[in-house]
Amino acid sequence: MSRIKGAAAGDLFGPASEAAAGIAAICRGATVLRRFVEPDAAALLAAVAGVERLAPFRHMVTPGGFRMSVAMTNCGEVGWVTDRQGYRYQATDPEAAQAWPAMPDILRGFAERAALWAGFEGYTPDSCLINRYERPARLSLHQDRNERDMRQPIVSVSLGQPAVFLFGGETRSDRPRRIPLQHGDVVVWGGPARLAFHGVDAPAAGAHPLTGASRINLTFRKAL
Ligand code: MD6
Ligand code: FE
C-alpha cells in the first residue's frame, strides 16, 4: 500500500532524514512515525519556548471542577481550553485576554509532512495544543471531539521523556492497547480511528537531555 493516494509504493515525499523514519500502523487510521522529528527536536523545543514566553503553561480546570495534572498552552488561530463552562476552542488565551501566539512555521511544517506520510493530503492545522507532563501527571481516557470536521486527522508529536499511550476503541469500556512513545515519535490519527478513546500514562522516571523530567506533547488539529 502506498502512503499517499495516487502515489506508487516507494515514492519519496520528504527529505531523506524523514524517509529513514520507521512507519507502523497502530490500527486502521492511526500511524506511528518513529523518531520522525528527532533530528529537529531541539529546534521544535526552541519554538515551544517562544510560545511559552507569550502564553505560559497553566493547569486548566475541567467542567467538573478538577484541576488537570497536565500543564497546557496553545499556539495557532485557536487554542483548546477547558473551564467550568466546558471544553472548546477559542481565539484568545483566557489568562492573557489576547490572541494565542502564532503557530511557528517549523511546527506547522512537521505536522503537514507527518500527515502526508500517513496518507492524509491537504492537511492544514489551525491549532496546536502543547501538553507538558511531569510525574505523576497523566491524561485519562477521552475522545477528541471538539473539532468541527472529523475527516481531518490529528498529528501528535512526543518530545522528551517516554510515556505509554493508551489506545482504546469507540467505547470507554474497550480495553486499551499500550503503545510506548519515545522522544521524536509522531502519531497521525484520523479516519476510522478518529473517535477512539485514548489517554497517556505519566512519563517514565528520569531525565531527558532536552526536556529534563518532562514529556512535551504537541497535538495539531484542524479545529475550525
Ligand atoms: C498526549 N494526546 O499524547 C495526549 N489526542 O500527550 C492526545 O490526547 C491525543 O496524541 C488525539 C490524537 C492524538 C493524541
Ligand atoms: Fe486526545
Q: Is 65 left (phi over 0), alpha (psi -120 to 50) or beta?
A: left
pLDDT at residue 189, as a whole number: 95
pLDDT, mean over the chain? 92
* pTM (two decimals): 0.92
pLDDT at residue 79, as a whole number: 98
Ligand 1: distance of its center to the CA of 129 in Å? 9
pLDDT single digits (tens) 8-62: 444 444 444 554 469 988 889 999 999 999 999 999 999 999 999 999 999 999 9
Mean pLDDT of 160-182: 95
Confidence of residue 4 (pLDDT cuts 50, 70, 90): very low
pLDDT single digits (tens) 50-95: 999 999 999 999 999 999 999 999 999 999 999 999 999 999 999 9
Ligand 2: distance of its center to the CA of 10 in Å? 31
pLDDT at residue 18, as a whole number: 56
Which atom of ligand 1 is closest in space to residue 158's alpha carbon? 3
pLDDT at residue 21, as a whole number: 62
One-letter amino acid for residue 205 of the chain: A
Mutate to test the pocket of ligand 1, among 131, 198, 201, 218 (most ligand atoms within 8 A of CB): 198
Confidence of residue 206 (pLDDT cuts 50, 70, 90): very high
**Residue ranges around ligand 1 (CB below 6 Å):** 131, 139, 144, 154, 156, 165, 187, 189, 198, 200, 217, 219
Mean pLDDT of 139-159: 97
pLDDT at residue 192, as a whole number: 94
pLDDT at residue 202, as a whole number: 98
Judged by DSSP in three states, 100 sits in coil
% the chain with pLDDT above 90: 88
Q: Which of 42, 217, 52 is nearest to 138 (CA)?
A: 217
The grid coordinates of residue 130 equal 502543547
DSSP 58: B
Q: Which of 124, 129, 110, 107 is nearest to 45 (CA)?
A: 107
Ligand 1: distance of its center to the CA of 4 in Å? 23
pLDDT at residue 12, as a whole number: 44
Q: Which protein residue's CA is at the shortest distance from atom 1 of ligand 1?
A: 217
Judged by DSSP in three states, 192 sits in helix
Whole-angstrom distance, CA of residue 8 vs CA of residue 4: 8
Question: Which residues are CB-contacts of 163 (< 8 A; sequence separation ≥ 6)?
Answer: 133, 180, 181, 200, 201, 202, 203, 204, 215
Whole-angstrom distance, CA of residue 186 vs CA of residue 33: 5
Mean pLDDT of 163-185: 95
Q: Which of 163, 96, 97, 88 is nearest to 127 (CA)?
A: 88
Q: Give the other-Cβ count within 10 Å of 173's Cβ.
A: 8
